[in-house]
Structure 1
Amino acid sequence: MRRIVLSLFFVLSVLLSQAAEITRVEPSSWWTGMVNKQLQIMVYGKQIGLSRLIVNYSGVTVKEVAHTDNPNYLFVYLNIADNTKPGNVKLQFRQGNKTLTHNFPLLARTATEGAAGFSQADVMYLITPDRFANANAANDDLDGVKVNREDPNARHGGDLAGIAKNINYIKDLGFTTVWLNPVQENRMPGGSYHGYAITDFYNIDPRFGTNSEFKTLTANMHKNGLKVVMDMIFNHCGSSHWWMNDLPSKDWINNNSGKYVQTNHAKYTLMDPHAAAIDKDILIKGWFVKEMPDLNQRNRHLATYLIQNSIWWIEFACIDGIRQDTYPYPDYKFMARWCREVQAEYPQFNIVGESWYGRSSASSWWQQGSVLNKQGKTGLKTVMDFPLTFITSGAFDYHKDDRTGEGSPFYSIYEELAQDFMFPDQSNILTFLDNHDLDRFARADDQDLRRYKQALAFLLTTRGIPQIYYGTEILMDGKKAKSDGYVRTDFPGGWSGDKNNAFTPDGRSDKQNEAWSYLQKLLKWRKQNAAIANGKLVHYVPDETGVYVYARISGKKTVLVMLNGNNSTRQVPMDRYKQVAGNRTEGLDIITGNKFNITKSISVPARGQFILELN
């Protein structure tokens, strides 16, 4: 027994004799005046966990100093009183007769231009930063990974400077909001151009730019009337994340035993009353791929770390919203807590969760207030309408035979929207024709653009918050058959030396300019129309004409939309639509500028559309 005690004393003496180090402190700063008075600081460095912490700063008290099974980490929990003044909080780590000091900046919280949220009055422009524009070639190559634009799965060099250079282009099109695929650091061996393998949650990828550049970009967006939505990932990190070489604790990562466990992607198990426990477990704890370790949000330190990271980016960069990747995969209670805490700090803020389901019942289950969900409040304001996307992908296709009633190509759209009773908030649903994970909607064989024009007319006038993928305005097409890289191609003109510059009319073909101008007209009109921004939706069952008719109504403003899915012109008697037309007698088509008498029948061209402002 005496020998064991001496051995333990010797080990402890050796450890204490090694000077503690501080390698990282995250977050790097914080603010006074936050709603949540508690702050977690993760301190990492050799043997820092063996130190004793002393803090002497007016208004700041130590609530807890938490140790893990790794002596190289300390999780410091501070309380910051309301009257605390900004300054540098001295964190003193004492080990024996040695003291290590870190000055932690506590900043003044200021009124921010950001955190404005987004609503159905907005239209999002989704950008994959690596593929949009390259305005700084100096940051292209890193860690031996070089730009190769010939390889659809390699880095292509797009950056924040390229986005900043084209703010006016986005603004002139008529968008109100820009959603960026992840911009945080992805220093993976293969490059990870898409951004979903984060290796540092607190830093912008150096191939895109710097934290300062990102903050400047959002400020410039705001000056130009644009909001910014940041893509975030809580489910996993990249295998080259700095902490993977020295995990904060054994349970930081799910299934960290050395045996790879692949997630089953069985997202329905979360709501399935008959689900086997093992299936749920594999969904939540399994990894997407070996290069993306699955994070365990049930670890209380990691949970707080991730929540604070979101709040830090909102406060630091003044972003307006977050799109959360793979929403069903992280821990359910953690995600609900995250939504609550972000909303508490920023009441106008909006979060959209990637709820990738083929049925509206499942998508609506995730929205805050769903009566279908008995597991407790989700806190999630906005969900993504994948079911509608999958329907529209075929509904606007060319059909050889004319179809009416239930056979109409738009009947499936009508039927899908008729199930909106499942959504607690039908205005906070993100609608889209495609995105970075799907085949592009535009097709090379759409010679006359009728499919394109009808679909955009629908997307921008139906309920929900529309999102349009970059390049849609110039008919960029592509399928995922070989890899995701084929739907994330470079925007022409974004790189020096590109043959065509589609950012300018001269660099676009006649067909592309037709598509671009059509979208611009719709977007600019939509901005000014209250019926679309906040109006209710009233739609009619497609009848024997095969024309889908619906209205958006807000107060005295009414917009009537008519979509003909047939290959022949259809005469539509207007007496059926008296409920929404009221005493109005005339409608102005916002695309052509033509006026129509809405007391009689209207002739809707083959596979054509009218968007009528009723006067």
Structure 2
Amino acid sequence: MKSTLITLFFCFVFSLTHAQIERIEPPFWWSDMNIGELQILCYGKDIAKYDLHIKDITISDVTRTENPNYLFVTIDTKGVKTGTISIDFTENDKVVFSQPYEFRSRKENSAKRKGFDSSDVMYLIMPDRFANGNLKNDSHKDTAEKADRSNPGGRHGGDIQGVIDHLDYLKDLGATALWSTPLLEDNEPAYSYHTYAQSDFYKIDPRYGTNEDYKRLASEMHKKDMKLIMDYVTNHWGSKHWMITDLPTKDWIHQWPEGFKRSNYRMTTQFDTNASQVDSKGCMDGWFDTTMPDMNQSNPLLLKYITQNAIWWIEYADLDGFRVDTYSYNDKIGIAKWTKAIMDEYPNFNIVGEVWMHDQAQMAYWQKDSKIGAIDNYNSHLPSVMDFTLHDAITVMFNEDENAWDKGMIRAYDNFTNDFLYPDINNILLFSGNHDTNRINEIYQEDINTYKMVMTLILTTRGIPQLYYGDEIGMLGNKDKKGDGDIRRDFPGGWPEDTQNAFLSSDQKNGRTEDQEAFHAFTKKVLQWRKNTKVIHTGKLLQFIPFDNVYVYFRHNAEKSVMVVINNSLKNQELDINRFREGLKSFKIGTDIITDSNINVTENFGVAAKTSMIIELK
């Protein structure tokens, strides 16, 4: 065994010395995966001229492309044991050099891991803007853009250590899952902080930390019974990605005769039976932006590459879910195969796709087992989608104070009347804002009463609620007037030089202001209550048509019922309790968890103007 290790080490040093292999991906794999074959990418100068041999391993395919710097080697992994194998590169039947390749043991019950679900509350952060836990990595010698906190569109220094340092804050707030915008390397010279133009799919951006730091983040979260969700980008890579600068094949990305061609962004062409081919191609093959080459998921080598990469990160970092950026811009056949392969490997995992559309039928098309998708024999295999139509309603309806046929709270009611379109309505992601939208507290001018109504709805209706970092302290931001940097401000207290620290309560030195504390206290109270209230997670939704701009609905199961009241009018209102007997059943009394007040639900009761109630019936 010792001599074997010495030999492998010598071969590894030899290969590095002669620069025969610059990269090998995945960098290692696991011995007992359900996936039967592994595609190993070997990259190096003129590496395609070599033949390959692996002792006791079946090589099922070796693919050479028009670029001689690539070899794609597919091996049969069934029966492969934990340990290191040697990949021999030969010429004229002689071994020129060898490359060691490691197979590791999986974590016990890895395939059975449980993803996020409707019992969770997801907290979204932009890591560069959340907290700076390691001042030494704000800039890095291997990346182009350096830290400049004075620049709203620049890098500010937030990192993985900063997130780890504030997990107790998230736990105390009541968040149970963390979605971070991408953390993989983005080596664009400007605006790299958003990290959606990634330059290395197997490497955490060094300004955020290391791969081990990311793995440690998941571990620390699991100790606190929290889940980690990776923001995965399949549709586009960054222009500085090492494979983009030396393409394996011309069709690795979507090419256009005129060079750059921006997507028309009309995702409806993916299923429109009347769509022209030129428009369909313009959406799916057009580039999202000049720095984001559009990837061709119909290329089998690329599809296998991103599939294995996704599985590698789940296994390596011990992840609990994916949020997939711009899901519906991908080649829809290719992305369905990608999704299915991941869910086959991890049947209880969860993946939510960004399908930014404004019609429930069009969004429901993309959810797994959709009857709408079945019309053209399509199944995305995607467990969850984001409820953008509810977001559309939330951003306007609380400024509509008067009763109207199609305005105010009827917008929420109408949104839920279309729930029959979704195959799994509890597996829908709900939100009032994210890193691409104006801040909800900006839209409603930092009004705490409106915030309470918004959060009451998000946190008590069906689906999986998602909060955007800082909303819980009333953070503001308007991208239309000041650009994206304004909705992605630094969380106060995340940097040592900050004079105010909103991670701390108002009774602590330099902690939250009185106004911030009001936002935070309400959010924490409802989140902590929700965490242990199963009827909100999976109970049925029973809603009543809003009258006088007052919306009433129930979440109920066989054992429990919760009555939610949102009075969006400018007047105090009295509820005619007889109208809601179907939901109240035989309950006599309830407790409003917002005010801790007891309410007799056998008789009419009042609801103050612009307020909400969450009544736990007893």
TM category, shorter: over 0.9
- Whole-Å separation in 2 of the counterparts to 1:404 and 1:248: 60
Number of paired residues? 590
Is 1:384 the equivalent of 2:386? yes
User: Is the contact made by 1:228 and 1:321 (CA closer than 8 Å) also made in structure 2?
Assistant: yes
The 5 A counterparts of 1:303-452 are 303-373=303-373, 374-397=376-399, 399=401, 403-404=402-403, 406=405, 409-443=408-442, 446=445, 449-452=448-451
Secondary structure (helix, strand or coil) at the match of 2:252 reads coil
Residue type at the aligned position of 2:399: D
C-alpha distance in 1, partners of 2:416/2:344? 32
Partner residue of 1:570 out of 547, 570, 573: 573
Do residues 64 (structure 1) and 61 (structure 2) align?
Answer: yes
**Which whole-Å CA distance do the structure 1 matches of 2:209 and 2:147 have between them?**
15
Which of 108, 113, 116 pairs up with 1:111? 108
Decide which of 580, 586, 597 is 1:594's aligned counterpart. 597
The letter of the residue matching 1:450 is N
Q: Quick one: distance in 1 between partners of 2:144 and 2:339?
A: 39
Secondary structure of the structure 2 residue equivalent to 1:525: helix
Distance 2:39 2:422 in 1: 36
1:122 partner letter = D
User: Which amino acid in the other structure matches residue 284 of structure 1?
Assistant: M
Aligned partner of 1:192: which letter? S
Asked if structure 2 preserves the Cα contact closer than 8 Å seen for 1:129 and 1:158, the reply is: yes
Do structure 1's residue 92 and structure 2's residue 88 form an aligned pair? yes
1:77-102 Cα shifts (integer Å, max 9, x gaps):
01111x33101111001123452111
How do 1:148-187 and structure 2 match up within 5 A? Answer: 148-187=148-187
**Cα displacement (A) at 1:359:** 1.1
Contact 1:547-1:562 at 8 Å conserved across structures: yes
**Secondary structure in 2 matching 1:343:** helix
* Cα shift at 1:148: 1.2
Correspondence for 2:465: 466
Farther off after superposition, 226-235 or 361-370: 361-370
1:230 aligns with 2:233: no
Cα offset for 1:344? 1.1
Supply the distance in 2 between the matched residues of 1:585 and 1:282 (Cα, whole angstroms): 59
In structure 2, what residue type is equivalent to 1:379? H
Q: Which residue of 526, 549, 554 corresponds with 2:552?
A: 549
Q: Compared with structure 1, are the counterparts of its residues 556 and 405 closer, same or farther at alpha carbon in structure 2 (3 Å cutoff)?
A: farther
Q: String of CA shifts for 1:478-507, please: whole Å, max 9, x gaps.
A: 011132111011000000110100000132
Q: Which consecutive residues of structure 2, in runs of 5 or more, have no partner in the other structure?
A: 1-17
Shift of 1:546: 2.8
Deviation at 1:112, TM superposition (A): 5.7
Residue in 2 that maps onto 1:208: 208
Query: How big is the shift at 1:282?
Result: 1.1
1:41-65 deviations in Å (ceiling 9; x for gaps): 00000111110000103xx311111
CA distance in 2, matches of 1:395, 1:356: 19
| Mapped partners of 1:475, 1:592: distance in 2 | 20
Please name the residue that 2:51 is paired with: 52
Aligned-pair distance for 1:580? 1.5
> Structure 1 256/277 Cα, relative in aligned 2: closer, same or farther at 3 Å?
closer
Deviates more, 1:408-417 or 1:390-399: 390-399
1:245 deviates by 2.2
Specify the code of the residue in structure 1 equivalent to 2:147.
Answer: V
Deviation at 1:460, TM superposition (A): 0.2
Q: 1:8 is matched with which residue?
A: none
Q: In the TM superposition, what whole-angstrom CA distance separates every residue of 1:357-401 from its partner, at most 9, and x where no partner exists?
A: 0111111111111111124211011000111101101112263xx
Q: Percentage identity across aligned positions?
A: 40
- In 2, Cα distance between equivalents of 1:310 and 1:419: 33
Change (3 A) 1:258 1:106: farther
Residue type of the alignment partner of 1:137: L
SS of 1:244's equivalent in the other structure is coil
- Structure-2 residue corresponding to 1:540: 544
Letter in 1 for 2:543: H
Q: Secondary structure at the match of 1:251?
A: helix
C-alpha deviation, 1:448, in angstroms: 5.0
Distance 1:567 1:134, change over 3 A: same
Indicate conservation of the 8 Å contact 1:408/1:542, yes or no: no
Shift, 1:258, TM fit: 6.3
Give, in angstroms, the shift of residue 609 of structure 1.
Answer: 1.1
Equivalent residue letter for 2:537: A
On the 8 A contact 2:88/2:95 being kept in 1, the answer is no
1:256 is displaced (CA, Å) by 5.7
Is 1:136 paired with 2:134? yes
SS in structure 1 at match of 2:328:
coil
Distance in 2 of aligned mates of 1:486 and 1:405: 34
Structure 2: how far apart are the matches of 1:48 and 1:191? 35
Partner deviation per Cα, 1:138-176 (whole Å, 9 max, x = no partner): 111134522111211100000000000000000000011
- Contact 2:144–2:187, Cα closer than 8 Å, also in 1: no
AA aligned to 2:530 is R
Distance 1:91 1:327 in 2: 36
Name the CA distance, whole Å, in 2 between partners of 1:336 and 1:444. Answer: 36
**1:316-337 deviation digits (Å, cap 9, x = unpaired):** 0001000000011111111111
Shift of 1:110: 1.9
Q: Match for 2:527 among 514, 523, 526?
A: 523
SS at match of 2:526: helix
Q: Secondary structure at the match of 1:238?
A: coil
Q: TM-score, normalised by structure 2?
A: 0.93
What is the alpha-carbon root mean square deviation over aligned residues? 1.5
SS of equivalent residue, structure 1 residue 559: strand
Letter in 2 for 1:490: D
Q: How far apart in 2 are the matches of 1:345 and 1:448?
A: 46
Secondary structure, aligned partner of 2:32: coil
What is the aligned counterpart of 1:76 among 73, 95, 115? 73
Which residue type is aligned with residue 381 of structure 1?
P
Show CA shifts across 1:170-213 (max 9, x none). 00000110001000010111151001000000110000000001
TM-score (norm 1): 0.94
Deviation of residue 237 (structure 1)? 0.6
3-state SS of the aligned residue for 2:518? helix
The amino acid across from 2:266 in the alignment is A
Tell me, what secondary structure is at the counterpart of 2:391? helix
Q: Partner of 2:3 in structure 1?
A: none
Report if aligned partners of 1:20, 1:51 keep a CA contact under 8 Å in 2: no
